Structure 1
C-alpha cells in the first residue's frame, strides 16, 4: 500500500513546527507533500529532529521561493528527481517533483499555487503558474501520466463548490477541469462523489476545498481510501486539514510485493 499525504503547514514557526512534526511522525505515510513552508527556523526544524530516527535531510538546491512545497518520503524506496516536470513551470520552487522507485514507479508532483487577494499583479502571477503547470502536464506523454500523482494546495475550487467563493475568475475554475481532461482524477471526489469536503475554514466560518490529490489512470482503479483529516486544524497545528490517500500499488503491478513498513526511515527532500 502506498500512502500519500498533503498538508499546508502555514509557514509554521518553530514551536508549531515541532508539534506538526510530532503529529506527522506518528503516521505511516510513505510520501508527504508539505505546502507553504518558509525560509524560517520552523521549516529547518525537521533536520535535527529526524536524527534520532537515523534519517537525514537533503537539500538539492537553494530555495527559489519564499513559500514553497517540500517533499518528504519514507524509505526504503529510493527516489530520484523529476526535473522534466518542473522545467517549464513559471515558479519551479512551488512545484517540486520526484519519482518513487516502487513497482510500478510512481511520480509525485507537489504544488503550492500562489494565492491571490484579487490584486491584478497577484492574479497574473497565479494565472501564469496554473497555465504553465497545465502546459507542462499536457506535454507529458500519456504513459508518463499513467502513474503520476499531483497534490498540494491548489488555491482553487471546483465550479460546483459550496459555498461559492466570491470573485473567482474563470481561469481558476479551469485548472481542475484541465487536470480531469488530462486523465488526472480527483481521488476524494472519485470515492465520495456526493461529499462536499472543506480543507480550509475562513474567519467568517466558510469552508473551502483548496487541498487536493489527483491520480493518473493507472493508479485510479487501485485507490483504497481518501480522507480529509481535521485533527491538525482543530489542534491549531495549521489552518488547513491534511488530505491523505492510499493506493494499492501491489494490485496496480499485479504482484504481492509490498511497499515497505511503518518502521522504515523518514527522509525529507526539498526540490526547487
Structure 2
C-alpha cells in the first residue's frame, strides 16, 4: 500500500467532519501544521476552507505575511470558533506564525519568542496542558549571509526552547532543515543545520513522524531542482500518547500551497 493511500486511510473523514467541539480537546490533540506560502486572497480562502474542514483542534500556520490574505484566514478560523495567537510585533515583520486552537484555553507563553516567526502558547483542557511552539525558521538561501542568519536563529531558538521547556512540549512548523541521513542526501544543507536538528533531540524532543514511521520517506516540499525535502516537523517531549503522525499531501496537490500538511494525533489524558 502506498504512503498516500495509507495516509488517506489514517485521516479518512477529516474533511467530512464538522469542526471539532470543545469536548474533543478533553481527550486528544489533533494538530495540523502547514506552511501556507504567502497566499493570494483567492488561494487564502480555499486554504482557509480546507483548514476549517480538517477537524483539527490545533492549527499552526507558517510563512504567514500580514495583509488581506492573512486577515481572511484569521477571520475564517475565528468564524469557526478558533482562538488565534501570534507573537508581538507580527504586523511589522516580513513573516510570522499563527497558532489557532479550539476547545482549549489558550495562553501566551512568557517570555515570548525573540522573533514573530515563533509563537508559543499553552493549550489547556481537562486533559492537562500542552505547550505548543510554532516556528517558521529562515529558509536556506544557499549564500554565506543566509547561512549566518540561519545559524544565529537556530542557536537562539534552541536556547529559547531550553528556557521554556515543558514536560509536554510540542515544537512544530517549517524548520527549514532536514534530519541527518535524509533521503535523498541534500548537499546544500550545512553542518549547523544538522546540529540544529540534533540539538532539538538533545533537549529531550522526539521526531513524531520518525517515531511513527522509522523507515518513512515522506517529503513535505517537492523540488526537482533542489531535491525533495522533509522540512516540516513536529517534535514532542512526551510521545507516549502519540497515535499517528502523517503528511497530508492534498494541500500541495490541490495547489493550496507548495507544502504538504503535517497532521498529528495524540491523547491528552493518562
What range is the shorter-chain TM-score in?
0.7 to 0.9
Q: Is the 8 A contact 2:250 2:260 kept in 1?
A: yes
- Quote how far apart the aligned CAs of 1:205 are: 7.8
1:268 alignment counterpart: none
1:109 to 119, 133, 141: 133
C-alpha distance in structure 1 between counterparts of 2:87 and 2:173, whole Å: 20
Which is further off, 14-23 or 175-184? 175-184
1:236 aligns with 2:255: yes
Q: Is the 8 A contact 2:85 2:100 kept in 1?
A: no
1:227 alignment counterpart: 246
Gaps of 5+ in 2: 1-27
1:38 alignment counterpart: 65
- Quote how far apart the aligned CAs of 1:117 are: 1.6
TM-score w.r.t. length of structure 2: 0.83
1:194 alignment counterpart: 215
TM-score w.r.t. length of structure 1: 0.83
Structure showing greater relative contact order (alpha-carbon pairs closer than 8 Å, 6 or more residues apart): 1
User: How does 1:128-207 map onto structure 2 within 5 Å?
Assistant: 128-140=152-164, 144-204=165-225, 206-207=227-228
RMSD (Å) for aligned C-alpha atoms: 1.9
Which is further off, 171-180 or 202-211? 202-211
Give the 3 Å change call, closer, same or farther, for CA 2–56 of structure 1 in structure 2. Answer: closer
Question: Deviations for 1:41-89, whole angstroms, at most 9, x for unmatched residues?
Answer: 11111244346546676767442421121111113x2111002352xx4
- Quote how far apart the aligned CAs of 1:40 are: 2.5
Question: Deviations for 1:204-225, whole angstroms, at most 9, x for unmatched residues?
Answer: 38311000000113xx111011
Gaps of 5+ in 1: 255-272
Q: How many residues align?
A: 241
C-alpha distance in structure 2 between counterparts of 1:112 and 1:59, whole Å: 12
C-alpha distance in structure 1 between counterparts of 2:97 and 2:186, whole Å: 24
2:96 alignment counterpart: 68
C-alpha distance in structure 2 between counterparts of 1:228 and 1:70, whole Å: 19
Question: Deviations for 1:125-152, whole angstroms, at most 9, x for unmatched residues?
Answer: 1111100111122334xxx431000000
C-alpha distance in structure 2 between counterparts of 1:55 and 1:156, whole Å: 29
